[in-house]
Structure 1
Amino acid sequence: MKRRMAVVSNSGASADGRSQWSAGRRLAVSLPIFIVMVGLLVSISNLTTVPWDNNPTGQTIETLTSDTAVTFAADETKGVSADTAGNAALDQAGTYEVSKRAVVLEVARDGTLVGSPHEVAVDENGDVSQQTPDNSTDTGSGTGDSDGVTQHITVLIREPVGAQGKHPGMVFLHGAGYGTAYNSFGDVAETLASAGFVTAVPDKPVWNTSDVTRDYPASARAYDAVVGLLRDSGNVDADKVGLYATSESSWIAQYVVDSDRRIAFQVLLSPMVFTPRQSLGFFVSQDFALVGANEGYQSIVRRVFNSDAALVGLHNFDLDLPETTAYRVPTLVAYGSKDVMTAQVEGAKRILTKAHEAGNWDVTIRSYPIANHVLRLGDESQSGTQFADDYLKDLTAWASGTALGLQQTSERVAGSTIYQSIAVPDELRPRTAMTAYGLILHVDTVLLLVITAVMWLVALGRRVRWRWGGRSRGASGRRSGNDPLGFTHGFGNALVTLSITTLATLLLFGAGLAQVILAVMRLDWGAAPDEEPGMIWWSWPVIQVVCTVVVWAWSRVFARLIEVAVDRGILAWPPRAGAIRSVVSGSKPVLASTRFARVLFWLTFAAMLHVLFVFAFWGLFIY
């Protein structure tokens, strides 16, 4: 009896059952809990941190002249005389009228044709290509139908009217998105055709793939089928068919040039030279910095591009590109000074190195001031944007002179200074353990949030019924006071407050990240970044402060649970007689008098803790 009375006395409870813990004792219990929780979250942030070296920064290549004009020496043996300036007199844009015809191919993913190509009527209403950028993501209408195994690809062929003999050909390879024969490359294809080329713009071969599951080798085989279509045309010189590739399709062009040894030349517009992991990691990291995103948001990029995407069936991050043969043909590389997506300095160096290793010294590089990623002036997201000054003229001259086999007399590297802000992240690699942990964490978090939301909807229904009924009873049949769920000692209110705060912080995190992504998209389309970054800067430290406060509040809640448990005799050794039974039955609850409320509390706590773990995974507790 004396022993039991001693335990009650040590619990700190007064005769009326109220806790007599001092503020200092509560702090002494809360502080270690807070330190352990913060330490765990900081450890997760550190364990998921990946190395990232932006050096060297501010790389440049000084061009030999600002004049981007491409000229060739006249060659009477090839029927090319000199113009008034002493250069080769080449066919200019507008020399010929242009006719169009459309051909449909059914192409399997292995590159084989199903049936024979057949001509169809040109859809004049669908030909909006001269009003849209070259890498338009518009899906168009009535073209590119696919059953996942084969795809019907419409090829829009433009031909010079009245030109004699056989002509060089150009096949266009689409950039990102779902461009069609009718909404892509119209102005440049029309220009080249009016200068004597036969051009072919196909629907983008995608089959049943998406932007992140694109089958690049299969796409290369489909484009090569279009090359074969041109070669079989009676008015095309089969040994003078080249490629025009933009951005993403420069990866595909490498496969085409490697497999088809008859490709005569290639034009690479803002080429993605390195693997997708490196190229995308570079441009997203650079753009996050350019728009003024907080370093914390920038750290998200590092984790994303160090992920092992193969775990979820995405195998394009680390393409085995055939670089040794990709640049063996005469190549024109064109950049825009406002392009914020391409590693121009290291890319140009890589192309030159690989071309020279393949024995090709016929590489021409042009950099155009003010132009964006697709060599347009202005916002790429808007239709009708024009090409950079002289680009079409220079392109036509280079393609014509190269197809004729003339000797180039203009400088190989010309235009504005080529600039690159940060280094290509060569250290990127798939981190399987980190990726697996991140996937499990995020899936568990979503499931817990869904289950918790359902539980809270049930709780809301009980509260509504309680209000209408005037009272609520717990599992034992006793009234639960003013809380219809049976929470005691203010735990219900604390749970609601902390849950709302944590979820509000999660929404702020999502909104901040969304703002960064929108700012990057505007930048990529050619818009200037805002002078003041605003939310994309201040939201990160605000989230950090709020999360720290939430962790402290949770530590206080657990300290209060310990306090009540001590008062109830649960934490005494041995436990006070009948203490456990009274807590389980709800007659003297620590947390709540109902089983439902106790399950709701711990489920909600687990969900909110997982949200904090998600924040920690993305580096919130170290940046």
Structure 2
Amino acid sequence: MLFRTIATSAIGVIALAVAGATMGPQWDPVALTDPLMMESSSTVIGGPVDATPVGTYEVTTRVVPVQLDGTVIEAQISTPVGAPAGLPGIVFVHGAGTGAYVQAFKTQAHALASAGVVTMVPNKRLDTYSNRHRDYVQMARDYERSVEVLRAVEEVDPDLVGVYGESEGAWIVPVMAADHPVLAFAALISAPVVPPREQAAFAADSYLRNTGVPQGVFRAIPRAVGMAFPGGGFEYADFEVTPYQQRMAQPTFVAYGTGDASMPTVQGAQQIITDLAVAGNDQVTVRYYADANHGIRVDGEISADFVRDLSRWIDGLPATATAAPQVAGDQPHQTFRAEPVPTPRWFGDGNTVLNTVLGACGAIVVGAGVWLCARLLRRRGTGFAVGLGRPLFCLGLGSVLTVAGLVWYLFAITKLALDYDQNPWVVQGGWIGVRLLGIATVVAGAVLVNRLDDVRGDPDRQAVQGVPAVASLALVSLGSVVLLVMLAYWGVFQLGI
């Protein structure tokens, strides 16, 4: 019996491993072989710049309304006190999540204003913005209303107003710049460049590598990111910013932190330079800041070099638009390219995946409930042959617990990855634990199969008696098999295949 159990279990694990490998795309990111070399380690904006240093002026702020289609938002304008008229201005475009002027871009807006640039931070419109729905073209139209308000400010030269987009905002700014050449300049900070789906896969890969997860976990990246998300929506995941960047004629300032693992920092700058060249635009200035993170922060503070360089660049336009060096700062490193994410062949619909898992769990629960009710009612002529009940129970419970363990593990490593943290007990130990639990479930299934085979070969014994027992065996077994196949799809039974 022991040998049969081991053999049947091995066959089951191998079959699941093969099924998991063939049911969906693998994760094989393409190495980036074209590094971007720095022309200088200094980020200082060169050329004939006679700029006003940060901190020259005191700053006064006021809040103004901005009329959008269907709503009104507030925006804070920061103005240098005592500066001459005809100043440049800049509108800040928020990244992902919520954005209010009382919290967002406070340091950047104040620093630029103290150097003679009138800044405007509008509240982000949230009534048309959610995790499931984001329309970057419409968001660009909303931010254009803020540009119109800033251009009308008395201290501002309307021909010198530009926009600043950070992270998600760097998908919105090119739409504004392409459709409104009246904008004087654009600043793209921590720009993703590629579509959101590709960006999410790239960031997941980078974060997981930093966390030190086992290689087998990476298979989940294309299978999770490549599918249509449950519940619909998320159309913006495939938004292409390249066509808009290829129509930008404005001088463009590009900045990345070399400590930002979430962005394709080398590929991003290369793509922006290439896209703007399509429009005949060579007015691109690229700067990399040592150890700065996604928000160009070092140790929690906005890089002073960054705000100095940006203010000098804005103040020196148009001369600084092509001032040498074009690319400078700390040497960035990007191991893999952000590339299109393949769509899973059989599980490309997130609703199908979710409903399949819930349906299988429901079948196991109903099957167990039917048997429990029959036992409580003491139905005669109902039961399992000796030795079948326990492995059936372990099969159903083990399948559900393994799914729960996998969900816990994925959430745990996601939190570690986002916190740039490492915990071998969770990362390595958790993965081993989930896989061992899955294998133990397969062993329970092997025991059940072998005992059913023994019973069928004995004319004096009956495997199940009564409708409740038949229903329980069928529901629990079917639900467990479905869950084991889904677990195989997400990599629990990988054998290096």
TM-score, normalised via structure 2 length? 0.90
Give the alignment of 1:191-340 within 5 angstroms.
191-309=111-229, 312-321=232-241, 322-340=243-261
Q: Quick one: distance in 2 between partners of 1:370 and 1:58?
A: 22
Letter in 2 for 1:554: G
Change (3 A) 1:342 1:407: closer
Q: Quick one: distance in 2 between partners of 1:237 and 1:494?
A: 79
Contact conserved, 2:364 with 2:480, CA < 8 A, in 1? no
Contact conserved, 2:24 with 2:345, CA < 8 A, in 1? no
SS at match of 2:404: helix
Contact conserved, 1:171 with 1:243, CA < 8 A, in 2? yes
Aligned length: 494
Larger Rg: 1
Unaligned runs of 5+ in 2: none
Q: 2:479 aligns with which of 602, 607, 612?
A: 607
Q: 1:515 aligns with which of 399, 408, 412?
A: 412
2:425 counterpart residue number = 534
1:498 aligns with 2:395: yes
Contact conserved, 2:249 with 2:281, CA < 8 A, in 1? yes
Q: Quick one: distance in 2 between partners of 1:106 and 1:604?
A: 59
Change (3 A) 1:406 1:337: closer
1:567-595 CA-to-partner distances (Å, cap 9, x unmatched) read 247xxxxxxxxxxxxxxxxxx7522x443
2:456 counterpart residue number = 565
Could you tell me how far 1:309 is from its partner in structure 2?
A: 4.8
1:61 counterpart residue number = 36
Larger deviation, residues 294-303 vs 319-328 = 319-328
Could you tell me how far 1:557 is from its partner in structure 2?
A: 0.8
Q: 2:303 aligns with which of 384, 388, 398?
A: 388
Contact conserved, 1:48 with 1:618, CA < 8 A, in 2? no
Contact conserved, 2:214 with 2:427, CA < 8 A, in 1? yes
Could you tell me how far 1:541 is from its partner in structure 2?
A: 4.2
Letter in 2 for 1:449: C
SS at match of 1:535: helix
Q: 2:467 aligns with which of 595, 607, 618?
A: 595
Q: 1:107 aligns with which of 52, 55, 68?
A: 68
1:413 aligns with 2:327: yes
SS at match of 1:434: coil
Contact conserved, 2:394 with 2:441, CA < 8 A, in 1? no
Contact conserved, 2:197 with 2:237, CA < 8 A, in 1? yes
1:354 counterpart residue number = 275
Letter in 1 for 2:427: I
Change (3 A) 1:541 1:553: same
Q: Quick one: distance in 2 between partners of 1:238 and 1:325?
A: 24
Q: Quick one: distance in 2 between partners of 1:409 and 1:261?
A: 21
Could you tell me how far 1:241 is from its partner in structure 2?
A: 1.0
Letter in 2 for 1:62: M
Letter in 1 for 2:202: F
1:448 aligns with 2:360: yes
Change (3 A) 1:439 1:406: closer
1:246-288 CA-to-partner distances (Å, cap 9, x unmatched) read 1111111111111111111111111111111222221211221
1:5-58 CA-to-partner distances (Å, cap 9, x unmatched) read xxxxxxxxxxxxxxxxxx49x93xx78865775465334312333254433257
Change (3 A) 1:174 1:397: same
Q: Quick one: distance in 1 between partners of 2:170 and 2:417?
A: 22
TM-score, normalised via structure 1 length? 0.73
Could you tell me how far 1:387 is from its partner in structure 2?
A: 1.4
Q: Quick one: distance in 1 between partners of 2:393 and 2:250?
A: 67
Q: Quick one: distance in 2 between partners of 1:352 and 1:315?
A: 27
Contact conserved, 1:334 with 1:365, CA < 8 A, in 2? yes
Larger deviation, residues 540-549 vs 273-282 = 540-549
Contact conserved, 1:206 with 1:219, CA < 8 A, in 2? no
Change (3 A) 1:451 1:497: closer
Could you tell me how far 1:413 is from its partner in structure 2?
A: 1.5
Q: Quick one: distance in 1 between partners of 2:322 and 2:489?
A: 55
Contact conserved, 1:307 with 1:435, CA < 8 A, in 2? yes
Q: 2:347 aligns with which of 429, 434, 459?
A: 434
Q: 2:379 aligns with which of 467, 474, 481?
A: 474
1:70 counterpart residue number = 45
Change (3 A) 1:72 1:407: farther
Q: 1:159 aligns with which of 79, 83, 108?
A: 79
Q: Quick one: distance in 2 between partners of 1:433 and 1:49?
A: 7
1:552 aligns with 2:443: yes
1:621 aligns with 2:497: no
Q: Quick one: distance in 2 between partners of 1:36 and 1:566?
A: 22
Unaligned runs of 5+ in 1: 1-22, 74-87, 109-149, 379-384, 467-471, 481-485, 524-528, 570-587
Contact conserved, 1:37 with 1:551, CA < 8 A, in 2? yes
Q: Percent identity?
A: 27
Q: Quick one: distance in 2 between partners of 1:169 and 1:502?
A: 60
2:290 counterpart residue number = 369
SS at match of 2:256: strand
Larger deviation, residues 217-226 vs 314-323 = 314-323
Contact conserved, 1:53 with 1:425, CA < 8 A, in 2? no
Contact conserved, 2:347 with 2:353, CA < 8 A, in 1? no
Change (3 A) 1:91 1:104: same
SS at match of 1:241: strand
Give the alignment of 1:174-193 within 5 angstroms.
174-193=94-113
